[in-house]
Structure 1
Amino acid sequence: MEIPHIETSYRRSESSEQSSINLYPDFELLSKAFTAFISRAGWEKFVILYKDAGNLLRLEQIFKLSSIKGNKIMFGKLESDESPPNYRPILQRIKKRENFNNIVLDCDIDEVRVIVDQASSLDMLSSYYKYFLTSLDIELLEVRKHNPVNITGYRLINPNNAMVKKFVREYRGRKRVTSIKTELALIYDSVFALTNALEEANKGHVIRPIPLSCSKSDAWEDGSTINNLLANTRLDGLTGRIEFVDGKRRNLQMDLVEINFSGETEKVGYWNVSTGLNITRNYSQLNDKITDSLQNKTLRVTTIAEEPYIFVKNDSEGNITFEGYCVDLLEAISKMHNFNYSIYLVPDMNYGVEDKSGNWNGMVGELINKRADLAVASLTITYDRERVIDFTKPFMNLGISIIFKKPEKKDPYLFSFLSPLSFQIWLYVLVAYLGVSFTLFIVARFSPYEWYNPHPCDKDSDVVENQFTLLNSLWFTIGSLMQQGSEVAPRAVSTRLVSGIWWFFTLIIISSYTANLAAFLTVERMVSPIESADDLAKQVAIRYGTLRGGSTMAFFRDSEIETYQRMWKFMEKTTPSVFANTTEEGIKRVKKGNYAFLLESTMNEYKVERDCDLMQVGGLLDSKGYGIGTPMGSIWRDKISSSILKLAEDQKLQIFYNKWWKEKGGGGQCETDDKKQKDANALSIANVGGIFVVLLGGLSLSLIVAVLEFVWKANKNAGEDRRSICQEMADELRFAVRCTGSSTKSLSNPEHKRPRKTTVTDNGLTLMPLTGSYTYNGSGRSASSKYIST
């Protein structure tokens, strides 16, 4: 019948009528625009709450995200028999689901107002929940009293457009309004388009309306002209540029807006057919607004009591107070952003572990369930936790280490000076000494150049001698070993070769000995049965474990390294359990002995600084960091991360570390190994006592040998002098102990052996009897006459 038909709302029809046009945006384009936002926002999990299943067609592209990108989508129908409708039950179900914090509301703006009011009563308008409206009337949502921060949607009407301002100003004269509904604007634009078409049609001829009957097939002759003019409309209305393709509005542009912290809508981007979604948000202004949102806001902070990160104390009034490294860190960050905080201990005293049903406990569970805004503690950043919560930049880097009971100090061995060389080396040196001495003796006997004339003035002498007797060979070799030399010197090339090789050998041995001697004498060595994680894995006598329900336990449980897998199997099967409920419990088991505790290196350092019976064994098993936990999607995470980086640059984090690790709570009581090395300069008698023992032993041996030589020589002289050995020893001893007089004595007529009664002639000569005692002359021959002048 060619009657013009203009629609301002979505209508699903199987076939498009040629005489009908629709100013409402095409659902295919809306679906693309909605999907563009969800993809850009990174919503991997979200809920779609819909009122009318027939309108889900405009979410068709969103549904495809589940199969293409693996997004997890949960649906919920908005149903209620009450008046006004009660949607709290479905909102509570969403709140209980982990990380389904992104919600798509597919309903009109009146339903959105009800949902927002009820979500506010359930504390679901916090910064952790994000809402996206499919309604194009987000400008009409007045939620200033709730102060939402994450409600986003598209709008067709630009309130800054001059045409819109004029319309609102005129419309306000009849009614107090600040914005208009999209439906009203579309009706206005439809009338505007029809008026424009009629004006164009009237330019050629006068339009004559004629009566038509629905029972007849008569067509209005001017109807086709008007329909063609409507289909080719090109004008700007309240809802933007109006153009049609096949009766559908195609050349579409919508503003992406969100409700800011003050409750006002703010344009953050736009979407059009040609370029898709474009974000125009000024991020510097956004950061300022995030900072403003923290001003004087009180954040709920969950933590766990663990020294030195969190100390729990009671003040004079009996109130619980907190102090420690994490409190100083939190206080510094709060001053930078001027926010307040309240700290509470996590009820189950766990950091956060996922059970078989997929639920998380501890501080991670508190963040997931939005009961806490921050988790500030020694919370390790892990992949599994990162999937369900957000972390700031790490404020401390660390790794897993081993703490073990320090073995008792081993007192220095009396003969510590022998320690630089093993027993085998000393034995080999002794064998080498004897072997070289004997070789030198044999070579000297064979070499003709080692036989020399003892009387060089008597060239005709046929007597030669060799200085390398067996005793001289031993003396020469030991003198070289002790680097003292001797009066014996090799003459032949062969003996010099033996000597040179022996000197080179002694040079290396003495140098090696000297290099190791200082360490063995100055360091009191403590022998530990384990030195690394490999040592633990290779034995079963010493038990070892981790903190129950912590990241260290998860590290061994999920490790793919063979050593750590073997350690996990041992810990898992050992009874009684080797896992500790708290760090203090693990330390107590370590101090009892025969147990090693695996924990973070920072806590290891803290305990070793204060308990001198403990020590850290080996290096770090991995590398990780502690971070501040926030609920997934927290707008404050990046601001807190920036604050942590600033504190690190200003060395405030190191100051906090020194305060709680080195200074407070008895820090620095135990000396570290490095300090011991620096202070190990003075030697005690325990270190070098063996050297004095050797000295005394050598002196005693020399005295014994001297006595033996004295007795042996006295016995020989007594036989030759025909005197008793006692008399001979007495005379020799009397001469030996004289402190004055000559240091020489005559062997032919020693003064101490001269007869007591002698006869002297007139010329001064001594008369000797022919019989009786006698002495040796210089030639060694005895004199025998009745009287001999001497």
Structure 2
Amino acid sequence: MLVFVIIISLHFHKFSEAETLKIGAIFDTESLIKERAFYHAIRQIEPINGRKIEGLVQNVPPNDPFEATLAACHLIESGVLAILGPTTHENSHMIQTVCDNKDIPLLDVRFVVQPKNSISFYPSQQILTQIYIDLLEAWNFKNFVILYENDESLIRIAELLKLYDGNGHKMVVRQLDKYQNGDYRPTLKEVWQSEATHFVLDCSTDILEDVLHQAQQVGLVTNKQFYIITNLDFHTLDLTSFQYSETNITGMRFIDPDSDTIRNLGLTLFRNDFTNLESGFIEAWKIKLEMALIIDAVMMFGEALNGLPKNFATPSIDCMSAEAWTYGTTLTNLIKSINYPGYTGLIQFDNFGLRSAFGLEIIELKEGGIIKVGNWNYSDGLNFNRVYSPNPPPLEVGSLINKTFIVITCLTEPYGMRKESEVPLHGNQRYEGFGIDLIAELSKKLGFNYTFIIREDKKNGEYDETTGQWTGMIGDIINGKADLAITDLTITSERESAVDFSTTFMSLGISILYQKPKKALPSFFSFADPFSLTVWKLLAAAFFGASIALFILGRISPSEWQNPYPCVEESEFLVNQLSLRNCFWFMVGSLMQQGSEIAPIAFSTRMVAGTWWFFTLIMVSSYTANLAAFLTTESPDSPFKDVFELVQVAEKKGIKFGAKINGSTEKFFRDSKHIDEYQKIYQYMKNHEDEVMVNDNKDGVYKAEHENYAFFMETTSIEYETQRRCSLSSVGHSLDEKGYGIAMRKNSSYRTALSTAILKLQEEGVLAKLKRKWWEEKRGGGLCPQQDKAAEGTPLNLKNVGGVFCVTIIGTVLSCILVFIEMVLHTFKKSLHVKKPFKVLLMEEIRFYFRTSAMLKPVTSPKPKPPDYGFITS
């Protein structure tokens, strides 16, 4: 009866396990929306012959192949039928290897050039490249610049260069950010200076918006430029700030967010983020290609499961064994052989496992947003059905046409300056500068006239509590002396309570102007800089440890005990060359990569020596390479790195600091009552006002250049001065964020028109062009170009060289195991030879080895045979 119950239980357990078919997925650490898409697809699959589909998810860091391998093994041992792979190349490569060994299908949704045994649902790059070429020819791109992000982008670009027949057209390839610091302006500025107008942009959605913003800042997003964006998720970004730039920006997409299918999918995937259908329509625009591919891959996998035998055996595989799943290849071929209509269109694979027969939409960014202008499919190629939206209504300028404004400014470089001329000038022609040109551009756009007047005392304006009146240019606006005020006039809450400001035409913050730090002199022990102190300590420990290990193994290993007299066949004792002193000398010679008369003989000692040689090879090479970096770079010796260090070292090092009297910078420190350091700065400036405060920024710049003085100043003004005074530099990051605006009387009717026109100039790149003109080109600009900061030499720490220490330790441990095997075998052989018990000889050997000072080893001879006294018979 008990046997019957056990059999029934086992049968029921086996049947229960067969109830579920499992599919695994490996995602990056932070991928909640991907998991949501994965489980949504699982729920859409009908049970296969009564067996339900279950999803198992493992999260791993983006670039950690070891963790990815462990995750893949865990899923395989859990009995998954397939694995949906990660998006990073490093992880996917290792998971691919594991799946190949176990014959488990790998569903890949990332960009690959040529999949091996995985099933790549991502569109074939060769076909996508052909679409790029079709667009280049349709748009008549003769000479163009290719801007790419990283190595993966370069692979795609290489396909384009290989297939595109330009017939002598010029193609220039530039990496956006070779230093990976998020600043794309140097490359974009170089492209702008070349007057290129046609671009192919290949980068991820993580940086695409920043690239376009910085391109706009340098003047590359105007009505003169044409862009082809290769990113298939281009439409998911917020591109509002580029809609009115009149730039032709073309992209591609697989997913139409306006379709009911995608809208319903948005409702499902983002169900926790909204409660109505309108929000679901908005969220549909956030569905990226990878999310749709995950759903398509899982649902197509469920479709292929119907082609397997009715009661096929699910895999039960140990990742450490050599076994593979019987149906793995069959399932892979089934997936590749069927056609499936997914969210990303028809999914069909060619003989190489590439998704080649597909279609997509061609889109453009217009003033109304993203619009569809055509499509591409495998059979018909590229087709356009452009529908141009009606022109937007003209800017409401009627109220400003032929109106005349009195514009007040002050002669502050580079916002307003007297023009240098050999002939007398009159009226507005007497002045030039950034503010002067900005008013001129606004006048062209809005149709008003203007006359400049100058505020000679250069006071922007402050509220006088004694008189209850505003001074400076703010007071002139309130009193009706001027209609507009423009200069380096900071928008503050106090000023905005008295006058109106236009939208910000320049963003900035407060930073420190100080003398450029001198290069630090090399230290006396600068040769030790390539390694951190921890690595030097571990290096010394490794040296002593390896030397002692070689000495111990040399004593234990029988092969190291040699006959000192080769001519004598049976010597009475043996000698060992691996004394403690010789072992240290051998390790020193290896470390210095020099020869030595000492040569290990046994397998174990040679293994230790080889491991140490490998260790020294890597360490010496790393030291040499990093030493070159330290010798070619010089670290600046700055007395402080930011405002907090300035407060700490100012008194000790005799550094004075100040700002412009009654300026917005002084008020910033006065009102920053929650930061103790800022309050200390304000108290110091008030207590030493006559000594450290200045009436004009020029005086502060002079003091910073000729005295031990730190001047708090707007970042834009610092940038202007450091372009012309090479002995000065900016120290630390911006302390706040603010902007300059055009001041006008409260409740002015033309505020909206001016703000809209400024935004228009910003989108067209006019403001960036004006800033480049007055900061880098005019009045001595470019004398001290901002040099790219050379990467400073960084000492290698344990993370950099930890692997070689690990290899050395493992090699030493293996040598210890080998030497004990060698000793046991030698003792056993010796016991047979000398006719003594094995245990006795083994204990004798061990006792001798612990006599570390003994370097002569007696030879154990066999017992002599007793004499034969027998009679000789004839």
Structure-2-length-normalised TM-score? 0.41
The structure whose Rg is larger is 1
Structure-1-length-normalised TM-score? 0.45
